[in-house]
Amino acid sequence: MHAPEADFPDAAATSAVRPPPQDRPWKDLSTIADVEQWIVEYDQDLQRHLSQHQASGGHGICFTLVDSSEIYLHTNGDGDVVLDVTPDAAWAAPVITAATGATAPLTQVWLLPGDALTQLVLGLNSLIARSRIVLSHQFRARKY
């Protein structure tokens, strides 16, 4: 069997262009190994999307919770986790605190140490309905 590129010379170029990020149904992540694998896979997919698009900052993941509210996550240059917990998702703040040990900020933007990412995802796991890659997100509050 031969590769489809042999029949269609432009197929290689066409297949290299990825469609915009789409919502993905959430899969239950019940172990640390599950979460770590999810982090690796999402990071690889994010990097592929970023290589094809001009990201204007704030790229990362959007978690859509079971009630349709959203939490945006990205990591900064220091490896810290930055969360934008939208007002509709504020009800999840006690779960974030319990999972990470972080005190809720006065704004909707949280700054967590990078090593809290696995615990954060495990803690939010049962509250997430779907997720998607975000190539640009303007955080609501600049100071956290």
- DSSP per-residue string spanning 42-89: HHHHHHHHHHHS---S--EEEEEETTS-EEEEEE-TTS-EEEEE-GGG
Q: 31-47, pLDDT tens digit by residue? A: 999 999 988 887 777 77
Supply the pTM of this predicted model.
0.75
- Of the two residues 68 and 19, the one the predictor is more confident about is 68
The separation between CA 87 and the C-alpha centre of its own chain, rounded to angstroms, equals 18
Q: Which two tokens stand for residue 56?
A: 């204007």
Q: 10-20, pLDDT tens digit by residue? A: 334 434 555 55
Give the per-residue pLDDT at 135: 72
Indicate the pLDDT class of residue 57, thresholds 50, 70 and 90: low
Measured distance CA(71)–CA(109) in Å, rounded: 10
